[in-house]
Chains A and B, each alone.
Chain A
């Protein structure tokens, strides 16, 4: 008990110290040049092409090689609206022509790593690939740019985006870290799939080496357009799928940082073992685990059964305890908690499964199951073979459902067959799924719950949801957007219980305290350019010797 108290107190102290003095200290300290960052990455790289990938396994090692048009402010990455130019000039442009035109001035001092100057034509070619991909060419984020009508280049250093209608989701979509700027020359010469296996960017680091299953190496790009950066001579991204390996690598000094996030227990162990040699940064995470029933399979075609399964979940209790052992914490609806468009606690409590009286919720759940003729329901929860947080939450869900008499077991698949089951085989009854986004952009983010959106694996149709979603997209007034959002959320989580929320993730990044300049963001995809990170070399020497 004493040990537990001591470890908790140390953790709290470390977080407190980091929170209180971290930013101030960072401001006061002068960045040092030199040395190399060693990060551990808990996933392999499916391909180098960010336009078709959605995983941190690609973003963490590859993002430092590329630039983007605009990005979240690296000094204020928690803000969902603070964007700054990367390859564009000055401030992020305001829209003109009634909110339907954005004009970006491109810097004229940027070169790709192969020496080719970066111009507006490269930006246009990149966004053409993302927004209007040719037949047969994949692009993962076409849906985010549905409002874009055309992209033009009036001159070599100007790009214009013409929108079909004013949209508050356009800039956040442009700022997504997946929109790597590719050289038009490369696309024209090598084709649209060349970037899956090759790298030619204009980021802070030049690609040096990739050893599959082992590591990616980058070296400082001396011609980087943000003057004075990067501070590091290079970086190595070490592939380490097992969490214990990543944890021990940081503890043993073989790695400096892991950008995705550790569970609380790992944080406590690191802090207890290394004390002030570890800095802990924590943040809410724009990532949520959702339960997706397959409406095409009985008994999930019955809204009463789906509602009952949602009512059985004690989200508040789960948050209190699961937050100690898993990377989940926050109770919320479909919108990132804390965002102006998110439901308040009172609004949430009106929805099925969010009421404060869990016993009453479960009594109602049992009544619904009885009414539906499924008193002794047996189901198999389809889950992803990843411990944090999928299998932990899956085990908890099964226990929650047991409390209303539902017997469930777990069918776990590795990531690739897991997605094949969700997307093409569709032979599951109910599954855990996630909605992880980069920039907090609620209206775009909630497309996950939109029937027929492509990423919605519940397989149902509902015209009302589509109508409200389209109205939200076209609505410029935030109060009206919020009103529509509440209707949309109630229909998803309550009336239809088409999908339901478990808990929002919580990001914990313990790293060696000599790693400076990096600030946590509410997404593991954000702030990964590594151009503002530096190593306090004296402190590193003190910690690791040598």
Chain B
């Protein structure tokens, strides 16, 4: 007796695509973006499982092991306080991602709300909002962040505020330009004509149609936020000791030990570079995938 295979794939001659298929397609079409995704996944793993990956307490001073070069005991060496650099790099990923995601998500969502509201309502609200955004955007990101941190002070929470605030107008400007186009679409007029309220139109018809620029800004912000956090910490205005943070590790080590113990500044510098590079590659890939013009090529 023969049995008949009734699976849809066999019947139709098509096989349902697995996650692996999607991934391999992504790797083929966006190899650099896939590389960026790998960096992000590694960082996420480091951040989530730092307790299991790091061999030592990243904050514990062990003065008998001051400035030990990389070895089997200390894979990346130790710093001037005898702290294991590998453990600090691993835990530093947690700080970088926490600050990066917090700033990017809050900044991008803040920009989404303001951008959509500004475009949808238009008139004096749009005018006032855009002039305020002009003022904010007149300052380079780092200058704005420095100004804000000088008002609020130092520390992880203050750094998040300092980086998030300049992100909001940047995202708002981009989202607004997309939302302006969507606002003029016939289906928006149709929605109005059948009595939909502003909130429903924004939530159901405008916001979903500006998701592409929103996601592009979000991914771009991630790398920028990590770099800004590292910059502020390097300047002594960001995260403070003994919290493991890459920029802070550079601040403590780069100046005094660059020559005699180069491993102290090299590893955190490398970590920042790879992380920002990874997020930027991934962000570019997301943009390419979401942009219809680039997608058809």
On whether the two chains bind one another, the answer is yes
A residues in contact (CB < 8 Å) with B:
3, 7, 242-244, 263, 265-266, 268-269, 272, 317, 320-322, 324-325, 385, 387, 391, 394-396, 398-399, 402, 409-413, 417
Stretch at the interface among B126-134, B140-148, B236-244: B236-244
Q: Is B55 interfacial (CB 8 A cutoff)?
A: no
Give the docked Cα–Cα distance between A365 and B63 (Å): 22
Give the docked Cα–Cα distance between A412 and B154 (Å): 7
Given known contacts A395-B241, A399-B60, A413 and B154 CB-to-CB distance under 8 angstroms: yes
User: Which residues in A have their C-beta under 8 angstroms from that of B296?
Assistant: none
How many B residues are at the interface, by size bracket? 20 to 34
By Cβ-Cβ distance, the 4 closest A-B pairs, closest first, are A321-B63, A244-B255, A399-B61, A395-B241
Contact of B241 among A7, A272, A394, A413 (CB under 8 A): A394
Assess whether A398 is in contact with B153, with CB atoms less than 8 Å apart.
no
Given known contacts A317-B63, A411-B154, A395 and B257 CB-to-CB distance under 8 angstroms: no
Assess whether A399 is in contact with B242, with CB atoms less than 8 Å apart.
yes
Given known contacts A321-B66, A399-B60, A7 and B81 CB-to-CB distance under 8 angstroms: no
Contact of A410 among B81, B240, B255, B260 (CB under 8 A): B240
Q: Is B209 interfacial (CB 8 A cutoff)?
A: no
User: Which residues in B have their C-beta under 8 angstroms from that of A395?
Assistant: 61, 81, 241-242
**In angstroms, how far is the closest chain A Cβ from the Cβ of B148?**
15
With A7-B260, A244-B256, A395-B242 given, name 4 new contacts (CB 8 A): A242-B255, A269-B260, A320-B63, A394-B241
**In angstroms, how far is the closest chain B Cβ from the Cβ of A502?**
14
- Considering only CB atoms, which chain A residue lies closest to B256 in the complex? A265
Assess whether B242 is in contact with A3, with CB atoms less than 8 Å apart.
no
**In angstroms, how far is the closest chain B Cβ from the Cβ of A312?**
13
**In angstroms, how far is the closest chain B Cβ from the Cβ of A43?**
15
User: Which residues in B have their C-beta under 8 angstroms from that of A320?
Assistant: 63
Contact of B80 among A243, A325, A417 (CB under 8 A): A325
Assess whether B256 is in contact with A266, with CB atoms less than 8 Å apart.
yes
Instruction: Supply 15 A–B pairs (Cβ within 8 Å), ascending by A.
Output: A7-B260, A243-B256, A265-B80, A265-B257, A320-B63, A325-B81, A385-B236, A391-B241, A394-B241, A395-B241, A398-B242, A399-B242, A402-B59, A409-B240, A417-B153
Give the docked Cα–Cα distance between A321 and B260 (Å): 17
Assess whether B155 is in contact with A243, with CB atoms less than 8 Å apart.
no
Give the docked Cα–Cα distance between A265 and B67 (Å): 11
**In angstroms, how far is the closest chain B Cβ from the Cβ of A34?**
34
User: Which residues in B have their C-beta under 8 angstroms from that of A242?
Assistant: 255
Give the docked Cα–Cα distance between A324 and B65 (Å): 13
- Considering only CB atoms, which chain A residue lies closest to B238 in the complex? A412
B residues in contact (CB < 8 Å) with A:
59-61, 63, 66, 80-81, 153-155, 236, 240-243, 255-257, 259-260
- Considering only CB atoms, which chain B residue lies closest to A383 in the complex? B240
Assess whether B260 is in contact with A3, with CB atoms less than 8 Å apart.
yes
Q: Tell me if A's interface is mostly helix, strand, loop or mixed.
A: helix
Give the docked Cα–Cα distance between A243 and B257 (Å): 12
Assess whether A324 is in contact with B154, with CB atoms less than 8 Å apart.
no
- Considering only CB atoms, which chain B residue lies closest to A417 in the complex? B153
Contact of A269 among B61, B66, B259 (CB under 8 A): B259
User: Which residues in B have their C-beta under 8 angstroms from that of A263?
Assistant: 256
User: Which residues in A have their C-beta under 8 angstroms from that of B63?
Assistant: 317, 320-322
**In angstroms, how far is the closest chain B Cβ from the Cβ of A491?**
31
User: Which residues in A have their C-beta under 8 angstroms from that of B153?
Assistant: 411, 413, 417
User: Which residues in B have their C-beta under 8 angstroms from that of A413?
Assistant: 153-154
**In angstroms, how far is the closest chain B Cβ from the Cβ of A42?**
13
Given known contacts A410-B242, A412-B236, A399 and B260 CB-to-CB distance under 8 angstroms: no
- Considering only CB atoms, which chain A residue lies closest to B153 in the complex? A413
Give the docked Cα–Cα distance between A396 and B59 (Å): 10
- Considering only CB atoms, which chain A residue lies closest to B236 in the complex? A385
User: Which residues in A have their C-beta under 8 angstroms from that of B59?
Assistant: 398-399, 402
Give the docked Cα–Cα distance between A395 and B60 (Å): 10
Give the docked Cα–Cα distance between A243 and B242 (Å): 21
User: Which residues in A have their C-beta under 8 angstroms from that of B81?
Assistant: 325, 395-396, 399
User: Which residues in A have their C-beta under 8 angstroms from that of B243?
Assistant: 409
**In angstroms, how far is the closest chain B Cβ from the Cβ of A529?**
31
Give the docked Cα–Cα distance between A461 and B9 (Å): 86
User: Which residues in A have their C-beta under 8 angstroms from that of B66?
Assistant: 321, 324-325
Give the docked Cα–Cα distance between A321 and B79 (Å): 13
**In angstroms, how far is the closest chain B Cβ from the Cβ of A240?**
13
- Considering only CB atoms, which chain B residue lies closest to A1 in the complex? B69
User: Which residues in B have their C-beta under 8 angstroms from that of A411?
Assistant: 153-155, 240
Give the docked Cα–Cα distance between A272 and B260 (Å): 10
**In angstroms, how far is the closest chain A Cβ from the Cβ of B62?**
9
